[in-house]
Every structure is written in structure tokens, then in C-alpha cells.
Amino acid sequence: MSEQARKTAEALEYLTGFGNEHSSEAVPGALPHGRNSPQRAPLGLYAEQLSGSAFTEPRRHNRRSWLYRIRPSAAHPAFTRAGNGALRTAPFTEAVPDPNRLRWNPLPDPAPGTDFLAGLWTLGGNGDATQRTGMAIHLYAANADMTDRVFSDSDGELLIVPERGGLLLRTELGLLSAGPGEVALIPRGVRFRVELLDGEGGAPARGYVCENYGQPFDLPDLGPIGANGLASARDFRAPVAAYEDVERPTEVVNKFCGNLWTATYDHSPLDVVAWHGTHVPYVYDLRRFNVIGSISHDHPDPSIFTVLTSPSDTPGLAGVDFVVFAPRWLVGEDTFRPPYFHRNVMSEYMGLIEGAYDAKAEGFVPGGGSLHNMMSAHGPDRETFDRASAAELKPQKIDDGLAFMFETRWPITATPQAAGAEHLQRGYDDVWEGLQRHFRA
Ligand SMILES: [Fe+2]
């Protein structure tokens, strides 16, 4: 399937823009005009609204799409419980929150035949999915396509960050592809399945997922930066309508309040022939991020690298931010240029997509991750501190890595499987060992 999936991915077309009222039809005439729910929808299709926000939320936050499909989603048998595998959901009560700094190596390779859904493994999170607050951090490792089954998450939207191997995402609203250096977002409730773009039998596809239970990710306000900068709305790509007219049993797996439920439809539910709306999946290429930094001294707080933010009820306080550390120039004069030592009321999970990160000389590897919880002290390791304190401050390009952060307002509780994992690094504290005393009164 990989070769076919790759060809499909290379030929994809997209709609551009963030938060647009998009519309698309795979068959001319499938989309009704002038109304959403005509007495008889065109071409014998069923009209169905999918709401991602309450009907009455302000227009800026309102998310909904109208889908015109071969069968209504309602035509299905009862859902029954399925095993949750390595997926866990907030509230995370199986272990106590840990103030220690933690760092992991990549997930071990999965068993043969592991698809994206089966390969999801929860590291931790916060909040409460039933209250639509907080977030979870998952990793995935997969070596098989999802075949005749689709997934939908009622608990939150999924921000997928591939680290190794490209993904073809077949969603109700159409197809997207995302590889390392790109991110894909699947909105709450949208059904999708994942095919792998890189050869079967090769290295498994791997990556990270932020499951955001809270308000949908939005672009951050820019304040004094002005009308341009950071992620540009026009660089976000939504799919065009594409449908499957497949009359064979398809399993629909629904994550609902922390548990997986399954029902077998007698047809593919990816049967949306036309749609319009704002509740749409999208992809974004992180290499298009417009990195803004200091041209005098010091460097801004890392919030300047925010790609997407999930706002809370308190202005400026995010449920979760998605932040990228992309290639950039460092030119600060009389400035310690790597990230400074800090203790932060927000909690930080960092991952690495490729290369190296400028605050950690070693040990932080692609596919791995680190967790610096609320108020835990962290910053450059000893080697980085020594090097950066003595470096000649000529303009320097940081271009050998792509790191990201999920930064959240609440402490992150690691799952027991993460806190006790074989791939948890023992002795992470040692990277700050040997920071010499230099004080002289
Ligand atoms: Fe930090």
C-alpha cells in the first residue's frame, strides 16, 4: 500500500487558510447553495452538521461543518467497549504528579502489524476530558496501515507531530499528508484512518500527539509584532472533499471519556461527497514558521515561538501552546544565547523532530522527549553552559535541529507506563552536575 499511498499523497490538492469558511465538493453539484439543509440534498445525499463548539459560542470561536454524505453517521449498530491498549485519559489518577525532571528515549519498535491507533502510547497529561479541560501527550509507533477501520476522538482534537515517516490521513473531509517537519490536526469527532507513506518492512513511523481536550487550537494574537509573523494563516492547508463509496464492514473506534468503543458499520463512514464549514482538519509545514527574535540583547521568552494556542477563560493563559524551535539566527550582543535557566509556572514537554537542540548537548534525541513540570528548575546542561559562556558572539545560525514544546497551564502527571518505562533515562539530573561555582565576592 505504501507506494500507492505515496503517489496519492504527492498528488493531493488543498484549500488554504486558517479558520476559513471553506467549502469543497468531490462531485459537481453535491454542495447545496443558499441553504444548509434543503428538503432534499443534492444527488440523494444526506445533510449532517458536525459541531466542534457550542452553537452559541462567539463567532470567532465557533466551529462547525456541514457534511453531505452517502449515509448519515447515525446509521450504525450499538458501540461496545474495546480494550484501551496503551491509551490513557485525564484525569490521570494512576500515579502522583512528580516534580522531578524526566527524559525519555524513543518508544521501542512496535510488534508487527501495529497500526497508528494501536501504536498510540500515553505519556501523561492533565485536566479532565469530561470537563473539556487540559491535554494529554501521546507518542505513536506504527508499522501497518489502518485497514477497514477508522478512529474518532470525542475527547479532543489531535495535533499529530510526525518524527519519522510520512502519514496519509484519510478523513471524512478529505485527504491530507504530513511528514517530519509538518504537523496535522484532526478536529474533535472527525473520523479518519492513517496509512503509512514509507515502506513496509522499514523503520516504523513515529511521532508525537497532543490531544487537546480544551478549546480548539487557534493562531496566537500578535500584539506589537503587528499584522504579520509567526505562523501565517495562508500556510495552513485543509483537504478537498474526497469520499469512499465502499460497501464492506468498517470498524469505527470512538474514544469517549477515556475509553475506546467500537461499532462495525456496513460501509465506510468516509463517505462525505461535499462539505463546507470551519471544523476542518489541516496540515502546516513548520519550516514556513516566521521565527522572530532579538536583534539587540537577551532573547524573548519562548512564547515568541508559539505556532498554535488553545486559549483558556483567562486572557493570555493557554490550556496548551504548541511551540516550535525552528532554524534561526542568533545575534544578541552580551547575551547568553541558549535558553536561560528558569523555573516556570507552566509545564513543559519537549520533543525533537530532527537534529539537535541548542540547550542540550546530548541525550535529547529525535523521538525522545523531556518533561519539566511546574516550577521544576531546568536550563542548559553543563557542557552547553560552559560553551555558550565562552563563545565569541558573532552571528550564528541555528539550523541543525527542529524541536517543539507542548506547554500547558497545569502540571503534567506521567502515566505509570511512562514513569516506569524501560526507555526512561535514568540519571537525567546528572546533566546539571558539575556546574561550577564561579562566585567571587
Ligand atoms: Fe523550559
Amino acid at 317: L
Catalytic: 279? no
CA of 408 to the centre of ligand 1 (A): 11
**Would you say 422 is a known binding-site residue?**
no
CA of 382 to the centre of ligand 1 (A): 16
Q: What percent of the chain has pLDDT over 70?
A: 98
CA of 47 to the centre of ligand 1 (A): 47
**Would you say 284 is a known binding-site residue?**
no
Band of residue 1 on the pLDDT scale cut at 50, 70, 90? low
Nearest to 134 by CA among 406, 420, 375, 421: 406
Let me know: does 285 contact 176? Beta carbons within 8 Å. no
Mean pLDDT of 313-338: 95
**What is the architecture, at CATH level 2, of domain 3-285?**
Sandwich (2.60)
Let me know: does 127 contact 213? Beta carbons within 8 Å. yes
Band of residue 364 on the pLDDT scale cut at 50, 70, 90? confident
Q: Report the distance separating Cα 369 and Cα 105, nearest Å.
A: 7
Phi and psi torsions of 287, nearest 5°: -70, -10
Residue 122, pLDDT score = 98
Mean pLDDT of 344-367: 88
CA of 343 to the centre of ligand 1 (A): 7
Mean pLDDT of 428-439: 91
Sole residue written with cell 509507533: 141
CA of 348 to the centre of ligand 1 (A): 6
CA of 148 to the centre of ligand 1 (A): 42
CA of 362 to the centre of ligand 1 (A): 16
Residue 74, pLDDT score = 95
Does the pLDDT value for residue 258 go beyond 70? Answer: yes
56-70, 286-300, 349-363, 419-433: segment of lowest average pLDDT: 349-363
Residue 51, pLDDT score = 98
pLDDT in tens, 143-199: 999 999 999 999 999 999 999 999 999 999 999 999 999 999 999 999 999 999 986
Residue 198, pLDDT score = 86
Of these residues, 22, 138, 276, 299, which one is catalytic? 299
Sole residue written with cell 447545496: 32
Residue 277, pLDDT score = 98
**What is the architecture, at CATH level 2, of domain 291-414?**
Sandwich (2.60)
Prior bond to 91 cis, omega within 30? yes
pLDDT in tens, 380-397: 988 899 999 999 999 999
Residue 57, pLDDT score = 94
Let me know: does 418 contact 365? Beta carbons within 8 Å. no
Let me know: does 344 contact 375? Beta carbons within 8 Å. yes
The contacts of residue 40 (CB under 8 Å, 6+ apart) are none
**Would you say 357 is a known binding-site residue?**
yes
Does the pLDDT value for residue 82 go beyond 70? Answer: yes
Nearest to 368 by CA among 414, 425, 429: 425
Residue 356, pLDDT score = 80
Band of residue 202 on the pLDDT scale cut at 50, 70, 90? confident
The contacts of residue 440 (CB under 8 Å, 6+ apart) are none
Mean pLDDT of 249-273: 98
Does the pLDDT value for residue 200 go beyond 60? Answer: no
SS3 10: helix
Residue 223 Cα distances to 295, 309, 316, angstroms: 18, 14, 11
pLDDT in tens, 93-135: 999 999 999 999 999 999 999 999 999 999 999 999 999 999 9
pLDDT in tens, 40-53: 999 999 999 999 99
**Would you say 342 is a known binding-site residue?**
yes
Let me know: does 42 contact 263? Beta carbons within 8 Å. no
CA of 342 to the centre of ligand 1 (A): 6
CA of 431 to the centre of ligand 1 (A): 15
Q: Any idea where the domains of the chain sit in the sequence? A: 3-285, 291-414
Mean predicted lDDT score pLDDT of the chain: 95
CA of 406 to the centre of ligand 1 (A): 11
Cell matching residue 119: 501504536
